[in-house]
Amino acid sequence: MMGPEYEFKKIYDEYYSRILQYLTRIVGPNDAEDMAQDVFDKINNGLGGFQGKSKLSTWIFRIATNTAIDRSRSAAFKQKKEHIAIEDGDEHQAVCTSASNKSPVTDQLVIRKEMSDCVNEFIDNLPPDYKTVIVLSELEGLANKEIAEILGISLDNVKIRLHRARAKLKAALKEGCDFYYNDQNTLACDRKQVQILPKTPN
């Protein structure tokens, strides 16, 4: 009994933070912690049946991904996400702001943070399949072959999905942000102002 417990503890210590971060990117911070606990319960229960046919990290990410997909497809989760989006609407409108009025000392650091927040927001708005493959590839840095094993699709399908996801993300960023180089030659972005037309009387 001590062997499996020790192995699980090692896995938990090594992977918990990474999986929590991954789930935060996929489902958001409000659900990530509970979902991470669910993932590691599944890992603990399934560890005895793990035969090493794939890398341990691949197996763990597969469990995390399937758990996130199952939860995100539930009606309760969708309703909760819509409610959170409405509450946070004003905050999200200001994620990408002009860098021109920031002090030169903190300019680059603040811009990078804003760029990261801005891109992450647009990634979050991608369809689930595109969002997952972008996060696994661009943010987790996994190879296409490992992504194929995690998602249970062919390598060619991973390449196609990644190509389409990147194209969709690029189009969304182009539509939603103006990118430019500031005086410090650092890439910055301004959120484009969305014109709200007045309601016409019925």
Q: How high is the mean pLDDT of the chain? A: 77
What are the chain's domains? 1-87 (1.10.1740.10), 94-193 (1.10.10.10)
- Over residues 85-116, the pLDDT tens digits come to 444 444 444 344 444 444 444 455 555 565 66
Q: At what angle do helices 56-72 and 75-87 cross, to 10 degrees?
A: 80
Please report the pLDDT score of residue 120 as a whole number. Answer: 81
Please report the pLDDT score of residue 169 as a whole number. Answer: 87
Q: Is the confidence at residue 19, as pLDDT, over 90? A: yes
Own/partner pairs, 53-59, CB within 8 angstroms, 24+ separation = 54/149, 55/146, 56/11, 57/15, 57/146, 58/146, 58/149, 58/150
Please report the pLDDT score of residue 188 as a whole number. Answer: 65
187 phi, psi to nearest 5 deg: -65, 125
Three-class SS of 1-66: CHHHHHHHHHHHHHHHHHHHHHHHHHHCHHHHHHHHHHHHHHHHHHHHHCCCCCCHHHHHHHHHHH
- Over residues 32-49, the pLDDT tens digits come to 999 999 999 999 999 988
> Considering the entire predicted model, what is its pTM?
0.71
Q: Is the confidence at residue 141, as pLDDT, over 60? A: yes
Rounded mean pLDDT of 167-188?
76
Per this entry, what is the length of the chain? 202
